[in-house]
């Protein structure tokens, strides 16, 4: 998926937020440790640094939600992060994004913190971000 296609999908998936530009996606993809997993009309973009992975964004075309695409892209991201040496995945999710929170809960993510008024909205007050974490590797003994 090209940076322009990622930007278009991101804008469609998050109409209440400022969409990321093609240039921003290109820069993220060129950064060390970048991981992009695409499954049909959904993608997960993140990065692996040392033994941690961070999901920067997950987006699904609104016309294709609730069909398993995001779940498949998320699982592929976790597999790629694990293969790159990550032992845990972190992400931020808007507190009012019930669908995403449900997806992450089913996938085994747990709340690890909160960022107050993190997500600015085009029309209305900012909402908190929940910091979620999932261990993806067995502890070393």
Per-residue pLDDT averaged across 101-108, rounded? 96
Residue 58 has pLDDT above 70, yes or no: yes
Domain spans of the chain? 3-135
Q: Is residue 140 over pLDDT 60? A: no
**CA dihedral sign, ordered 25, 29, 32, 37:** positive
How far is 61 from 89, CA to CA, in rounded Å?
A: 23
Q: Are strands 52-60 and 88-94 parallel, antiparallel or unpaired?
A: parallel
pLDDT (0 to 100) of residue 92: 97
pLDDT attached to residue 123:
79
SS3 17: coil
Asked if residue 79 has pLDDT above 90, the reply is: yes
Q: Within its chain, how far is the Cα of 69 from the centroid?
A: 13
pLDDT > 70? residue 110: yes
Superfamily for domain range 3-135: Gcn5-related N-acetyltransferase (GNAT) (3.40.630.30)
pLDDT at 138: 65
């Amino acid at each position: 998926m090209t940076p322009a296609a990622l930007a278009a999908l991101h804008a469609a998936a998050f109409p209440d937020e400022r969409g990321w530009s093609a240039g921003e996606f290109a820069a993220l993809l060129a950064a060390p440790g970048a991981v992009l997993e695409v499954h049909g009309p959904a993608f997960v973009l993140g990065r692996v640094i040392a033994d941690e992975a961070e999901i920067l964004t997950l987006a699904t075309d609104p016309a294709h939600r609730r069909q398993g695409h995001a779940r498949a892209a998320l699982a592929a991201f976790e597999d790629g992060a694990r293969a790159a040496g990550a032992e845990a995945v972190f992400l931020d999710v808007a507190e009012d994004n019930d669908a995403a929170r449900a997806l992450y809960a089913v996938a085994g993510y747990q709340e690890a913190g909160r960022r107050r008024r993190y997500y600015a909205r085009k029309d209305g007050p900012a909402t908190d971000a929940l910091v979620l974490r999932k261990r993806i590797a067995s502890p070393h003994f």
